[in-house]
Amino acid sequence: MMNRGIRGATTVTQNDEQEILQETLRLMEEMIRRNELQPEYISNIWITMTQDLNAAFPAKVIRQLAGWDLVPLMCSVEIPVEGSLQDAFDSWFR
């Protein structure tokens, strides 16, 4: 199966480790289900977060999903443009 890229995004209500990890898990499970993704067909996952979210690494919970621990993961911070959405993060499957 060819995969050019799949994007999902979400927000949290506060900069809290548990909330970030729970929302990451919810988003990942939804993206995997909707797109019928299998880890062996994914070259990497890139997660970006707004600058205000620094309580957790979303990759931590993704590595706990069965089969996804071998997929390379990268977390980074989005450019803090004035007026942009806060408390948000994106996940990119490639």
Domain ranges for the chain: 6-80+87-93
Beta-bridged to residue 48, according to DSSP, are 76, 90
DSSP letter for each residue of 5-35: -EEEEEE-SSS-HHHHHHHHHHHHHHHHHHH
Bridge partner residues of 6 (DSSP): 93
- The CATH-assigned architecture of domain 6-80+87-93 is 2-Layer Sandwich (3.30)
Render pLDDT for 38-50 as a digit per residue (tens, 0 to 9).
Answer: 999 999 999 999 9
When pLDDT is cut at 50, 70 and 90, the band that residue 90 belongs to is confident
- Distance between CA atoms of residues 53 and 16, nearest Å: 8
Note the pTM of the prediction, 2 decimals: 0.87
As separate numbers, helices (DSSP H) first and strands (DSSP E) second, the chain gives: 2, 4
